[in-house]
Amino acid sequence: MSRRLLVLAGALSGALMLSACGTADTATQPTRTIPGTAPSTTIATTTTVPNFACTPTTPVVPADGKPEVTIPEGAVAPPALETKDLKVGDGPEAKVGDKVGMQYVGKALSNGKEFDASWTRNAEPFSFTIAPPDPAVQGEVIKGWDQGVVGMKVGGRRLLVIPGSLAYQEAGRPPDIGPNDTLYFVVDLVQVCTPEATPVTAPGSTTTVAGAAGSTTTVAGAAGSTTTVAGTAGGSSTTAIPSSTPSSTTTTAVSSSTTATTATTAAP
């Protein structure tokens, strides 16, 4: 009897020890705290775009048709932009800030080949907004166009001889345009659109973003803008997300936070 009791007592003692060890191991495990999320933040956006008044309302069609671009024998790269009016127009004059419609043909000095022409695309005019001559401002086209088109009048035709420094520079545009290549263009101004004083505000969208209090919330901006969005209340930081498409500015409003917008432009 005493031996059986000892065996039972030993078994019980071992079980208690195992139980105690299990409890001790459990007690030493780290505690993980999983934070919950704060209520969703609703972000309302509106898009402001320039409103242009165009003259003529429909682009004119050059009566002379597609021009021939002639590169003189022995021509060398000019030190600066050269322009020559082949035909003076009688319509509105193109100025910095105007959106203009152009027909064009372009050739490269390095090989004399035509590398691009609007006429080969069903004579569909190419439109762009003329940027200021400031080299720090990146426009929608090469600088030679920004500078060379200013002063033209609708119905006019002009020769542009653009040095590489105002075109595609050292990078060129292989395989048609070499490094620092000089470009010859004959351009027709077919429409001038002048920005009006009051821009048009397009309807915006509403985005709901869930984030933890004190976190950073990032939201991609509308086309052509840099949108700065503050996170939810609780001391959160801000992140600016630029977009890649040009021609608009987005204003983003966030509850319990501040916003800022910066327009951006991407060159084609």
Question: Would you give the end-to-end CA distance of the chain in angstroms?
Answer: 98
**Dihedral angle, C-alpha 190, 88, 97, 264, nearest 10 °:** 60
The verdict on whether 116 is a catalytic residue reads yes
Q: Which one of 52, 71, 115, 176 is the catalytic residue?
A: 115
Q: Which one of 43, 142, 162, 177 is the catalytic residue?
A: 142
Map 209-259 to HEC letters. ECCCCCCCCCCCCCCCEEEEEECCCCCCCEEEEECCCCCCEEEEEECCCCC
Q: Which one of 126, 128, 184, 185 is the catalytic residue?
A: 185
The verdict on whether 98 is a catalytic residue reads no
Q: Which one of 98, 116, 146, 181 is the catalytic residue?
A: 116
Q: Which residues are CB-contacts of 94 (< 8 A; sequence separation ≥ 6)?
A: 100, 130, 149, 150, 151, 152, 153, 189, 192
The verdict on whether 126 is a catalytic residue reads no
User: How many whole angstroms from its chain centre is CA 160?
Assistant: 28
105 vs 115: CA distance, rounded Å: 8
Q: Which one of 104, 126, 128, 184 is the catalytic residue?
A: 104
Q: Which one of 168, 177, 181, 188 is the catalytic residue?
A: 168
242 vs 265: CA distance, rounded Å: 10
The verdict on whether 142 is a catalytic residue reads yes
Q: Which residues are CB-contacts of 99 (< 8 A; sequence separation ≥ 6)?
A: 50, 52, 54, 127, 128, 129, 130, 192, 193, 195
The verdict on whether 115 is a catalytic residue reads yes
Known catalytic residues are: 104, 115-116, 142, 168, 185
